[in-house]
Chain A
Amino acid sequence: MKKIDIGKKILGENEKYALENLLFFTKKKKLCLNIISSPGSGKTTILARTINELKGKIKIGVIEGDIQTDIDAERIRATGAPVVQINTEGACHLSAAQISGALKQLPVEDLDLILIENVGNLVCPSAFELGENGKIVVLSVPEGDDKPAKYPAIFAKSKVLLINKIDLLNGGQVDFDIERAKADARRLNKAIEIFPISARRGDGITNWCDWLVKSVEKCAE
């Protein structure tokens, strides 16, 4: 038997593309955020609401990741924002090379902010850097307040936590202790910004959009 030391990054190929993407965003002074959540937590509704809210203030382009169909891309297209659809055909996450390809189809020069909607999955996408400036994790209240404790990786790595569907809390049909979810998310990530929102009704959207505008301005400096 002969042992050989390798010491090579297994996802080095993905990281190479991620680094190229990051350099691209830095050079162009564009902000890129990677939105990650379970399926059905409201990512597309949040995107559409955000685009409409920020119309005339900042220009947003979207990269839509889905296993199949362009249902989500259609919903974004209806807002008038430029959108590129990536179908992963079974893969549970987007990869940096796919983003690199999608960027060539977006009018990047005309945009201030590029939002990536990752494939609905709270686990796998957290392992694949896309070259984004930050990750946004969405947790909707019907999923349960124990998710930050049960899926620590994505909460530890994200810049922002959006707690969505808070309109359901008032009726008392959902048991969700918002303070517990916040405390568990902050346990591993003191710096995480948390915005409770309802993308459907509009609660908290102003605070989230203000944060976006400030982040875009900071990036463009």
Chain B
Amino acid sequence: MHETMVAQSLMAIIAEHAEKNNAKPVSAKISCGMLNPVSDEILRFAFEAIAKNTPCEGVKLQVEHKPIRARCKNCDANFEVELSLPECPKCGGDDFELLPDAPLILEEIEFQTESRNEKN
């Protein structure tokens, strides 16, 4: 459900850059951590719905989910957490500190360059 709010914020940033670059956005790449409950499918659906009849209509979203990392308190290893079996791959210990989950980030936007040429 909260994907709608994410989609709104996302669209506002894309629209801002589209205006600044005077170009039509065609795709956007975003990334987020595993603990960030964003469903790709719902986000795409919400974005599509609110982007209708705006400069962001038709923008394709690509979502990358970044793994959670942790630091083992026993052997100090820094490792990727397997949610189904969370333990240190080096020493097998289960006393670890979760490192901050990757935030929701708009990584890059791809613009159509042709529209610019048409204008010139």
Q: A interface vs B, CB < 8 Å? A: 1-15, 91-93, 95, 121, 123-124, 126-128, 152-153, 156-157, 187-190
What CA separation (Å) do A95 and B8 show in the bound complex?
14
Q: Size range of the interface on B? A: 35 or more
Closest residue of chain A to B35 (Cβ to Cβ) is: A153
Proximity string of chain B (62-96) to chain A, C-beta cutoff 8 Å, 1 when within and 0 when not = 00000000000000000001010010000000111
A12 contact set on B, CB distance < 8 A: 9
- What is the predominant secondary structure among interface residues of chain B facing chain A? mixed
- Assess whether A187 is in contact with B86, with CB atoms less than 8 Å apart: yes
B51 within 8 A of A: no
B109 beta carbon closer than 8 Å to chain A? yes
Q: Is B46 an interface residue (CB 8 A)?
A: no
Contact B95 A190 (CB under 8 A): yes
Q: Which residue of B lies closest to A191 (CB)?
A: B97
- Partner of B2 from the list A6, A13, A91 (CB cut-off 8 Å) is A91
* In the complex, the 10 A-B pairs of residues with the closest C-beta atoms, listed nearest first: A92-B1, A124-B2, A153-B35, A10-B104, A6-B106, A2-B111, A123-B37, A3-B110, A2-B113, A10-B9
A11: B residues at CB distance < 8 A: 6, 9, 103-104
B105 part of interface (Cβ distance < 8 Å): yes
Q: What separation, in Å, do the CA atoms of A127 and B35 have in the docked complex?
A: 8
Given A2-B110, A10-B106, A152-B35, 19 extra CB contacts under 8 A = A1-B112, A1-B113, A3-B110, A6-B107, A8-B105, A10-B10, A15-B103, A93-B2, A121-B1, A126-B35, A126-B37, A128-B2, A153-B37, A156-B35, A187-B86, A188-B81, A189-B98, A190-B95, A190-B96
